[in-house]
Structure 1
């Protein structure tokens, strides 16, 4: 007999249209309305990458691909998809309510982020759990999937493909910059959070499995809170690496993200490229996982290991 189980896929969310930008930004800032200058800055960034982020569409496609792959992997379970977002509708709580309405009693949750932090994945899980308890829905949470062989294989293949674009004689003049979204340093240290170590482990696995010679680790897209965030920032890191080693080729793999969106299309493809252009070096950024079968398969394998 086939059992119907909820699949709650959670993600950050992004504005669907320009009029969503202000309420979206207000939600990110815990209800504090941004200034006109801050709103304009965000609008300008979206404008630079083509108007709005492709994130909403990609999240839907990733969630659908994951649900289809899970239903292929399980004979006795029928996964029913729900999408819950952190900062815009449908919110995480809306998705849990929809599960209750459909009579779902058991669900697996997945956050579209490969590394665990209590401030990122943990905060999504808590919101889902708090809402699920109201309806007696049992949730099984995927915490991370950065160690899954298919996740590492995806990035290894992308790094090697990029290296093929660079003459063999210049591989020693090439550096890989592995990065994830920065988080406030004080909170990470206070809670002994595993997040920095998980990025470090990812970097080691990519170094061991790919053909890259030189690898560096950095952080990006930090918020403006007036307090220290995890560093070094990838732009500062780029300058330091160039000044110390004179690298000619910089390959950026923002492995903490899973698709092309503002933090990649602007923070990497614009801000990091500006630094590379300034230094007279070559900028490379392989395609993000999006709905690649290796990436989707990595999450499926993680689900199978816990459910």
Structure 2
């Protein structure tokens, strides 16, 4: 089957102080997040001049793909801030794109990491008459290029630490109920937390660390809903109580330096470690690594050239969808808010 383009589909982020509040309102619309939580997160963005690094990092990664000899035009669209995916899809139609592959900037399954991108595709196609057909690429949490980039990032960060440092993997927390709504019966490999744990295991194996931890960060939901724990800052404190002198945090759940990485890890976790007298280092996210562009091109070639998928786990490959249809009924449903059935 032939394709005319690649749509790079991401989360989006503000690019100036005036963007921050409307961006956060887009992110949390319909989720019951209290205004005071938005106030708190807005302060985090304003700490960095109201600019999230994510859009610039995506543009740099797109340029790397284009510079790799990739022969399809690459378009950029976001869920929550400009360029909005609806506008990008309209542009693609004007350019006579009829069928495109979609690269979502998340390696994992689950609602926020996978199915919500299907919803973005559905929403965008509904907004554009005779929209192009869109085929979303598969999840890639266990791809050897993804694991290799993180493994090398851990090795590079480790030179700042004593040899007995503790390796801690972290990913964005989600409601426990959303994590359990992972997929059809018997398809536990769709579950976000299991995939994060598997990617962490693969990186730890690659760098030769038998002991490591998987923790969570960036909780944003109502306090009455249980989310995945422990939180990374709480875990740093627990490690200190156990006599650990140094910690290396690897943001395995992120492909680029979202604000959650530069605030929750580079600011809050690092500052807390310093207060406790602990050595601290953070592994780089992979989208600045040349292998990230190579990974995207390889995922595309699975469709355009019949390249065999490369995986380091035995989890079922998932996430490849057509025009926003979910992998299976009830797969990766959103968490239900209290009182919602």
What interval of TM-score do these two structures reach, taking the shorter chain for normalisation? 0.7 to 0.9
- The answer to whether the 8 A contact 1:160-1:212 is kept is no
Structure 2 match to 1:224: 221
TM-score of the pair, normalised by structure 1: 0.86
Whether 2:258 is the aligned partner of 1:261: answer yes
CA distance in 2, matches of 1:240, 1:179: 15
Gaps of 5+ in 2: 184-189, 305-341
CA distance in 2, matches of 1:87, 1:43: 15
Please give the residue correspondences for 1:83-162 in structure 2 after superposition, counting only pairs within 5 Å: 83-132=76-125, 134-135=129-130, 137-162=132-157
CA distance in 1, matches of 2:125, 2:179: 27
Whether 2:295 is the aligned partner of 1:295: answer no
TM-score of the pair, normalised by structure 2: 0.78
CA distance in 1, matches of 2:111, 2:31: 23
Bigger helix fraction: 1
Distance 1:156 1:198, change over 3 A: same
CA distance in 2, matches of 1:40, 1:223: 12
Gaps of 5+ in 1: none
Structure 2 match to 1:194: 191
Structure 2 match to 1:237: 235
Whether 2:169 is the aligned partner of 1:178: answer yes
2:72 is paired with a residue of what secondary structure? Answer: strand
Distance 1:50 1:212, change over 3 A: farther
| CA displacement at 1:4 relative to structure 2 | 6.1
CA distance in 2, matches of 1:189, 1:137: 33
| CA displacement at 1:211 relative to structure 2 | 3.3
| CA displacement at 1:58 relative to structure 2 | 1.4
1:290 is paired with a residue of what secondary structure? Answer: helix
CA distance in 2, matches of 1:276, 1:26: 32
Higher relative contact order (CA 8 A, sep 6+): 2
CA distance in 2, matches of 1:191, 1:32: 19
Bigger strand fraction: 1
Distance 1:175 1:79, change over 3 A: same
Whether 2:49 is the aligned partner of 1:56: answer no
Please give the residue correspondences for 1:15-54 in structure 2 after superposition, counting only pairs within 5 Å: 15-30=14-29, 38=37, 40-54=39-53
- The answer to whether the 8 A contact 2:33-2:221 is kept is no
1:120 is paired with a residue of what secondary structure? Answer: helix
| CA displacement at 1:7 relative to structure 2 | 0.9
- Give the total of aligned pairs: 294
Superposed CA RMSD in Å reads 2.4
